[in-house]
Amino acid sequence: MTGPFSKELLERVESILPELFADKNVKLMHGDFHHLNILSCERSWLVIDPKGVIGPAGYEIGPLMLNPWNNLSDRISFRVRAERRVSILSERLGWEREKIINWATAHAILSAWWSIEDREDWRYSLQCAEIFSGLK
């Protein structure tokens, strides 16, 4: 039983998780790094509300890819913006696109599960996962 998730998407995420978490180069991370926790102040940018999570740095990619879209009515436009974000992250981090896409897809599934547990709308995160999983 996979609930609202396609079997194929869950199997894909299950297959990539070991590789994502095999990275032994763990970092102290923010843990909730998304647009609402990044503020512009007089001198620079300020990141607030850290959770202090230790793990592979790729974990932080998920929230950045998920936020702040909130509207998937135009899936083509969403896909173009997602591809652009992947390109920017790849260029700036020096990471392969596939690694970024895999982190984004895995986090979107996790976000959907959290939403289901909290009795919130999970459809946005699931749609993001479906789009991210189709990126190249």
Tens digit of each residue's pLDDT (9 = 90 or more) over 14-42: 999 999 999 888 999 998 888 889 999 88
Q: Average pLDDT, whole number, for the chain?
A: 91
Answer yes or no: is pLDDT of 71 > 80. Answer: no
Q: Average of pLDDT values for 117-127? A: 93
User: How confident is the model over 89-102, as pLDDT tens digits?
Assistant: 999 999 999 999 99
Place of tokens 């740095």: 57
- Residue 70 CB partners (closer than 8 Å, separation 6+): 124
**pLDDT-based confidence at 84, cuts 50/70/90?**
very high
Token reading at 47: 């990141």
pLDDT computed for residue 8 by the predictor: 95
The answer to whether the beta carbons of residues 46 and 92 sit under 8 Å apart is no
What's the pTM? 0.88
Name the burial class of residue 59, with classes exposed (0-12), middle (13-18) and buried (19+) by CB atoms within 10 angstroms of its CB.
buried
Answer yes or no: is pLDDT of 1 > 80. Answer: no
The answer to whether the beta carbons of residues 23 and 60 sit under 8 Å apart is no
Angle 79-61-8 (CA atoms, 0-180°, nearest 5)? 60
Q: Average of pLDDT values for 91-116? A: 96
